[in-house]
């Protein structure tokens, strides 16, 4: 077992602890909190803003078109992580990759304030390019704060996850429920941009605590690489702009990249001559599939479930007009609220179960996550079929219960998955592996957008809702399908868990 003395004497790991964890963990959690404030703040208003601003007067299905834009954007946000991971591993180092990504994302968020669809897509493209340099690399740096055998690693990632969700909790309350409902959804992007600037500033503050963690190699220390990568990121934003306009091409591209990634890790495992490492990569890829399935279901939260909350849920506060102007965004704060409440319990639960020989293996935790997200959709279908009032609205408390089930599933899968990647990947390929983890989420986001386009598309509508909004029965049919998909995958992973555990060779 790794001790605190071992940690202090380990080369490359900065000394000093706070509450039993490296001080740098808390610094990185603060940086990620403000970046997540930025992301979830704009996510809370994105789909509805795009539908009402750019598509509601074009004679098209506004919600469906906005769902495709949302799915394409969120897919690309995660897909570019594989490029950012490689750049951090081999070109810039983690600290400079994160800094460059933060600057580019901040610029993109302010471009979103321009009320023109093409400029709006430019803003999204810049955010995507910057996020690829930021998101996978800060997670990888967390793993580098701990030695491979340190039992605190899972708890450290859970604490980091709490920082993410503190930002995600505050953001929708400010950008949607307050600013959006009062001054217009557009100004939620302004608040998100300010959050990204704060994240950049805190990164500079954190450098002392990080020590040598994440610095570039000595032969790659010049700033010329920084500006060259920046120019490349701007060029990539042009490609992203095109893909945001061509959803079908994006889908084929994601499939191709995912297949290439799978081949990369299999070949890397074979070339290493290490049978254990090869089998660990196979286990990691199998778990990537479970991860993609989970997020394809879970990520209805920002698209179809956001439209559903606006159109068919009783207001949690205020009038229906206030609710539809931005108040509905408060549901986007429930998931991070639940995580902040229950993540400490889950963080303590796994070591407690481990001491008693009852801790579920990583594959079984993934299975539990899938089953719980499936049950959440069943609750929503049950609510639609049995609890509509005279106006056709579902009580908000039942949608809040759905978010609770989805969150408990997330806590069984997501922080465990982040930790799993850093354990299963070879040291020199952790950045690529973390990028692969986010690429599997990218595939899920793209599929989630397609599902949301079906769920929220239609010719119904009432009151202030566009005439092209989907009828509530269409949501029920789609969500019932998602229930069966999630349940099927969850049961399947319970069955194959012993095989996956064998491939992981003792990694827990």
Per domain, the residue ranges of the chain are 20-504
For residue 65, give every residue at least 6 positions away whose Cβ sits within 8 Å of its Cβ, in sequence order, or none.
50, 51, 55, 58, 453
Question: Which of 122, 92, 135, 111 lies closest to 227 in space, CA to CA?
Answer: 92
pLDDT surpassing 50 at residue 107: yes
How confident is the model over 168-181, as pLDDT tens digits?
Answer: 999 999 999 999 99
| Alpha carbons 396 and 193: distance in angstroms, whole number | 30
Q: Are 152 and 20 in contact (CB under 8 A)?
A: yes
Rounded-to-integer distance, Cα 94 and Cα 144, Å: 11
Average the pLDDT over 141-155 and give the result. Answer: 77
Assigned token pair, 226: 């920084």
CATH of 20-504, one of 3.40.1190.10, 3.30.360.10, 1.20.1250.20, 1.10.3430.10: 1.20.1250.20
In this predicted structure, the answer to whether residue 161 has a pLDDT above a threshold of 80 is no
Model pLDDT for residues 112-125, shown as the tens digit of each residue: 999 999 999 999 99
Q: Which tokens is 16 given?
A: 């000093």
What confidence tier does 475 reach under pLDDT thresholds 50, 70, 90? Answer: very high
- pLDDT digit string, tens, across residues 409-427: 999 998 788 778 878 888 7
Residue 83 burial (CB < 10 Å; 0-12/13-18/19+)?
buried
Q: What is the pLDDT of residues 198-250, one digit of tens each?
A: 988 888 777 777 767 777 666 666 778 889 999 999 999 999 999 998 888 99
Whether 125 contacts 93, CB under 8 Å = no
pLDDT > 60? residue 11? no
What is the reported pLDDT for 153?
A: 76
Tokens 């909790």 sit on residue: 169
Average pLDDT rounded to a whole number, residues 339-361: 88
Question: pLDDT band for position 9 (50/70/90)?
Answer: very low
Confidence label for 15 from pLDDT (cuts 50, 70 and 90):
low
Q: Residue 22, SS3?
A: strand
Report the alpha-carbon distance of residue 284 to residue 306 in Å, rounded: 32
Instruction: Of 39, 281, 41, give the one whose Cα is nearest residue 173.
Output: 41
- Look up the pTM and report it: 0.85
- Return the percentage of the chain with pLDDT > 90, whole number: 54
Q: What is the pLDDT of residues 28-54, one digit of tens each?
A: 888 888 999 999 999 999 999 999 999
Higher pLDDT residue, 264 or 212? Answer: 264
pLDDT at 13: 62
Transcribe 91-114 into DSSP letters: II-HHHHHHHHHHHHHHHHHHTTS
Question: Residue 469 has what pLDDT?
Answer: 64
pLDDT in tens, 279-313: 999 999 999 999 999 999 999 999 999 999 999 99
pLDDT (tens digit per residue) in 368-409:
999 999 999 999 999 999 999 999 999 999 999 999 999 999
pLDDT at 3: 45
Partners of residue 313 on adjacent β-strands: 394
């Amino acid at each position: 077992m790794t001790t605190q003395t071992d940690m202090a004497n380990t080369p490359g790991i900065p000394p000093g602890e706070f509450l039993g964890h490296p001080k740098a963990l808390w610094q990185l959690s603060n940086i990620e909190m403000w970046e997540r404030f930025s992301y979830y703040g704009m996510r809370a208003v994105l789909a509805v803003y795009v539908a009402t601003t750019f598509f509601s007067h074009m004679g098209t299905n506004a919600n469906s078109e906005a769902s495709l834009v949302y799915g394409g954007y969120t897919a690309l946000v995660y897909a570019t992580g594989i490029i950012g991971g490689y750049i951090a591993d081999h070109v810039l180092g983690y600290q400079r990759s994160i800094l460059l990504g933060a600057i580019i994302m901040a610029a993109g968020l302010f471009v979103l304030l321009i009320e023109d669809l093409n400029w709006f897509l430019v803003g999204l493209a810049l955010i995507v390019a910057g996020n690829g340099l930021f998101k996978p690399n800060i997670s990888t740096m967390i793993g580098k704060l701990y030695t491979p055998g340190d039992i605190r690693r899972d708890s450290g990632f859970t604490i980091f996850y709490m920082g993410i969700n503190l930002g995600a909790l505050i953001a929708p309350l400010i950008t949607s429920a307050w600013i959006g409902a009062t001054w217009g959804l557009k100004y939620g992007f302004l608040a998100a941009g300010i959050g990204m600037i704060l994240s950049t500033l805190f990164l500079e503050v954190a450098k002392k605590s990080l020590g040598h963690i994440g610095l570039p190699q000595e032969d790659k220390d010049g700033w010329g690489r920084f500006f060259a990568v920046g120019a490349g990121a701007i060029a990539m934003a042009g490609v992203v702009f095109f893909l945001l306009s061509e959803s079908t091409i994006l889908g084929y591209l994601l499939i191709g990249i995912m297949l290439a990634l799978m081949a990369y890790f299999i070949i890397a495992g074979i070339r290493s001559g290490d049978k254990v490492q090869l089998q660990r990569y196979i286990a990691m890829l199998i778990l990537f599939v479970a991860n993609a399935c989970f997020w394809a279901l879970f990520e209805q939260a920002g698209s179809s479930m956001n439209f559903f909350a606006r159109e068919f849920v009783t207001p949690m506060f205020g009038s229906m007009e206030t609710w539809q102007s931005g108040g509905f965004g408060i549901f986007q704060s429930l998931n991070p609220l639940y995580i902040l409440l229950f993540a400490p319990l889950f963080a303590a639960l796994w070591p407690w179960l481990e001491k008693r020989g009852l801790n579920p293996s990583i594959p079984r935790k993934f299975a539990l996550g899938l089953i719980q997200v499936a049950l959440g959709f069943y609750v929503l279908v049950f609510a639609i079929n049995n609890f509509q009032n005279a106006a056709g609205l579902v009580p908000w408390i039942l949608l809040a219960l759905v978010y609770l089930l989805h969150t408990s599933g997330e806590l069984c899968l997501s922080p465990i998955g982040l930790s799993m990647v850093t354990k299963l990947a070879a040291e020199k390929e952790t950045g690529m592996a973390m990028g692969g983890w986010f690429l599997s989420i990218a595939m899920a986001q793209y599929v989630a957008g397609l599902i949301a386009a079906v769920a929220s598309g239609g010719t119904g509508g009432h009151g202030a809702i566009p005439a092209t909004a989907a009828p509530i029965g269409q949501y029920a049919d789609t969500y019932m399908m998602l229930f069966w998909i999630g349940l099927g995958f969850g049961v399947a992973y319970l069955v194959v868990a012993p095989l996956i555990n064998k491939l992981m060779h003792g990694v827990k």
